[in-house]
Amino acid sequence: MISLIFWSEDVPTMITREYIPVEPEALSGDIFRIVSHPIMQEVYRFRHIIARAVRDFLDKEGFVEFDPIMIGPVTDPGTRGAYEFRIPYYGREYRIMRSGILYKQLLAAAMEEGKVYFFYPNLRHEPLDAGKTGRHLVEFVQIDLEVRDADHLEVMKIAERLIKHVIDHLRDYEDRLRRIWEFFGSKRPFLPEISLPLRRMTHEEAVDILMEHARRGEVIEELEKRFNVKKPERRLSYKAEIPWEWEWYLSKINEQPFFIQDYPKGARGFYDREYPNRPGILMDFDLLAPEGHGELSSGAAREYDASRVFARMKESGENPELYKWYLEFLRDHGRPTAGFGIGMERLVKYICDLPSVHLARPAPKVPGVHSP
C-alpha cells in the first residue's frame, strides 16, 4: 500500500494532490507525480546549484575534472556489506565500479596538475537492512577527488573548505531552502555558520564518547526503536567501523560538521595507508554532518607501495591477480596521493534537511525496493 505523506495543496490545479513518498516503499507509485511535485522540483534544482558550487570550488583550486570510468576488471572492495554488480565482457567478467578510488589514484599520479575529480556514479548492491537507514542507496553519485603528494591531513583541509564554500554560496537561496525545510517539518531556521577548522576526534575518542552515552538507558532505547537493533551497546568496538546507529547518534549530538580520523586497519580497504609509526591505525577520516545526517565523506592517504598493498590484499582475503593492472601501476609509477569522496545525495540531504537520502535524487533505488 502506498502511503501518501506530506500533502501539499499549494500546487497548480492540474497536479493537485501530488504526494512525496517519504517512506521508500511508496516509490513504486506514479513516478511522474513524484518528480513533478513543486517541492521535489526545488530539491532537484538545489542539487544542480550544489553541484555547480562544488565544481566552482574545485576548478579554482586547480583540479581537473574527468568523466567517470564505469567498468573494469575489478572494483574496490572497501564498501561495508555492499556487493558488486558484474557483467559479461567479451569472454571475461567485468565489474561495475563501486567507487573511483583505483582510477583516481592512477590519474592523480599521471596528471601534471596532480589534482583530479569526478562526479562518479556508484552502483552498490547494498544489504537489505541498509534500506532502512535513510542514508543508503544502490545508485548514487560521489564527488570523488584525489591529490598527488598529499596526506590525509591536507585533504581534510580541502574537504572542510569545500563544505564551507558550498554552504556560504547557498545563503543567497535561504528563503527558497526554508520552504523545503518547512515542508518536511524541519525546525532549522537558517543555514549554519561553518567555523574552521572543524572539530577533529580520533576513532578511539569517538568510541569513548559513545561508550559513555551507551550507559544511559534512554539512548539505548532510542537506538533500538529507531534502527530495530538489539543491544546496540554491544556493537561498539575500538577495532571496527562505528555502526550506523551510533554514527547517527554521534551526528545528532553535534551542531557542526566534524571529522573522525585514525580508524583501525580492519575497518577499511587495502588502499588506505597505515601510519608508519602506529601499526594497525590508518591515515584516514570520515566527515560527518550534524543533526543526525551522518557521514558525508570518507577519505585517506593512499598506500602506494605495491608490496604493502599486495600484503594487505592477502590479509583481507582479496585476490591480487584481479588487481594486476593496479599493482603494476603502483610498482612502476606509484606516488603518494590522498583523497576523499562526498556523497552528492547525502550533501543534498544535509543542506535541504531531508528526512531520507532517497528524496535527494529522482527515481532513487533504495535497497530492497522495486521502483522505476
Q: Percentage of the chain surpassing pLDDT 90?
A: 78
Ranking 22-31, 155-164, 281-290, 346-355 by mean pLDDT, the lowest is: 22-31
For residue 197, whether the previous peptide bond is cis, meaning omega lies within 30 degrees of 0, is: yes
Please report the pLDDT score of residue 15 as a whole number. Answer: 31
Helix residue spans in the chain (DSSP H) = 31-35, 38-60, 101-110, 152-169, 174-183, 203-213, 217-227, 244-252, 306-315, 324-333, 344-352
| pLDDT tens string 232-246 | 999 999 999 999 899
What is the spatial distance between Cα 120 and Cα 201, in angstroms, rounded to a whole number? Answer: 28
Strands 115-123 and 64-65 come out as parallel
Examine residue 367 and state whether it is found in any structural domain, yes or no: no
Q: What is the pLDDT of residues 266-320, one digit of tens each?
A: 888 899 999 999 999 999 999 999 999 999 999 999 999 999 999 999 998 899 9
Residue 76 and residue 98: Cα distance in Å, rounded?
A: 7
The total domain count for the chain is: 1
pLDDT above 60: residue 7: no
Residue 19 confidence (pLDDT): 58
**pLDDT recorded at residue 127:** 78
175 phi, psi to nearest 5 deg: -60, -40
Say what the pLDDT of residue 27 is.
Answer: 73
Give the pairing type, strands 115-123 and 139-148: antiparallel
**And the C-alpha cell for 354?**
531531508
Query: Does a structural domain hold residue 187?
Result: yes
Average pLDDT over residues 367-372: 86
At residue 196, what are phi and psi to the nearest 5 degrees?
-105, 150
pLDDT, greater one: 207 or 268: 207
> What pLDDT sits at residue 360?
96
Assess whether pLDDT exceeds 50 at residue 13.
Answer: no
Paired with 258 in beta bridges are 199, 288
In which domain, by residue range, is 279 found?
24-199+254-360
Per-residue pLDDT at 258 exceeds 90: yes
4 lies in some domain? no
C-alpha cell at 285: 577520516
Strands 337-343 and 294-301, how do they pair?
Answer: antiparallel
> Predicted confidence band at 9 (pLDDT cuts at 50, 70, 90)?
very low
Confirm whether 192 is domain-assigned. Answer: yes
Contact 167, 191 (CB under 8 A): yes
At 288 the pLDDT is 98
Q: How much is the pTM?
A: 0.92
The separation between CA 104 and the C-alpha centre of its own chain, rounded to angstroms, equals 17
The answer as to whether 70 is a domain residue is yes
Mean pLDDT over each residue of the chain, to the nearest integer: 91
**Cα separation, 326 vs 74, whole angstroms:** 9
Q: What CATH number should be reported for the domain holding residue 340? A: 3.30.930.10
Cross-strand pairs, 65? 117
What local confidence, expressed as pLDDT, does residue 23 receive? 73
The answer on pLDDT for 178 being more than 90 is: yes
CA atoms within 13 A on the CB side of 219: 18
Using the 8-state DSSP alphabet, how is residue 303 labeled?
A: P
- What tens digit of pLDDT does each residue of 59-79 get? 999 999 999 999 999 998 865
**Residues 344, 349, 350: CA angle, nearest 5 degrees:** 100
Residue 366 lies in a domain: no
Half-sphere exposure (CA, 13 Å, Cβ side) for 13? 0
160 found inside a domain? yes
Q: Could you tell me if residue 266 is inside a domain?
A: yes
